[in-house]
Amino acid sequence: MTSYGVLGTGVVGRTLAARLVELGHDVRVGSRTAGTDAPGGATVSFADAAAHASVVINATSGLVSLRVLESAGAENLAGKVVVDVANALDFSAGFPPKVLASSDDSLAERIQAAFPAVRLVKALNTMTASVMVAPRGLPGPHSTFLAGNDAEAKTTVRAMLHEFGWADAEILDLGDLSAARALELYLPLWLRIMGSVGGASFNIHVVDGTPSGAADS
């Protein structure tokens, strides 16, 4: 059993929290508004959710993530594995949204820079919530990605993904946290594919034709 603090009560936060509760973990959901209904019991403050947890999941909108993590408190986050599943997409000028990541920068790196004692792993930001926690709901194998500077933290996240139902060969480690730029810059394509297939219940599978390819399962 692992103690999780899930920050954010949107669809992503609630879906992840409900699945972690179902798997038997000790989960607290952090919210701006403590005491409302949530998986694992009533919501608590961001600070209480972070303080309680060994693994913190940032499931807030990427546009407010830094402020939420400030509110959670650097002292409550220090040394913790933080899984950043967020995307910073600005829909204020309509569709398609402006993605704030660039070739030089990403939300994940901004979080790591602001909270250097956090063991940050970018993961699961490339799909809809229901696919994150129930990958076997899609037909056939598909892929999920990790980026981060702390190998042990990635192992922790990999174990969580296994519990969700991801096969090891489906989990591609893309390297250090700068790879989060690539994962966040994928969102415009994700949005266009959603428009083309007519729904969010999809994911991409890396089909690997290299002789020793480990990505194809």
Give the contacts of 217 (CB within 8 A, at least 6 positions apart): 141, 167, 169, 170
Q: Is 56 helix (H, G, I), strand (E, B) or coil?
A: strand
Cα–Cα distance between 30 and 47 in angstroms, integer? 7
* Smallest gap from residue 20 Cβ to a second copy (A): 22
Cα–Cα distance between 166 and 206 in angstroms, integer? 14
* Smallest gap from residue 184 Cβ to a second copy (A): 9
Q: Is 75 helix (H, G, I), strand (E, B) or coil?
A: helix
14-22, 25-33, 47-55, 199-207 -> range binding a second copy (CB under 8 A): 199-207
Verify binding: residue 63, a second copy, rule CB under 8 A. no
* Smallest gap from residue 148 Cβ to a second copy (A): 13
**Residue in the block written with tokens 């598909």:** 142
Looking at the chain, how many residues does it have? 217
Verify binding: residue 157, a second copy, rule CB under 8 A. no
18-26, 75-83, 151-159, 178-186 -> range binding a second copy (CB under 8 A): 178-186
Cα–Cα distance between 128 and 200 in angstroms, integer? 6
Verify binding: residue 133, a second copy, rule CB under 8 A. no
The footprint of a second copy on residues 69-128 (CB under 8 A) is 96-99, 102-104
* Smallest gap from residue 186 Cβ to a second copy (A): 5
Verify binding: residue 139, a second copy, rule CB under 8 A. yes
Torsion of CA 45, 87, 53, 71, to 10 degrees: -40
Q: Which spans of this chain sit near a second copy (rule: CB under 8 A)?
A: 96-99, 102-104, 131, 137-143, 145, 147, 172-175, 178-179, 181-183, 185-186, 188-189, 191-193, 195-199, 201-210, 212-216
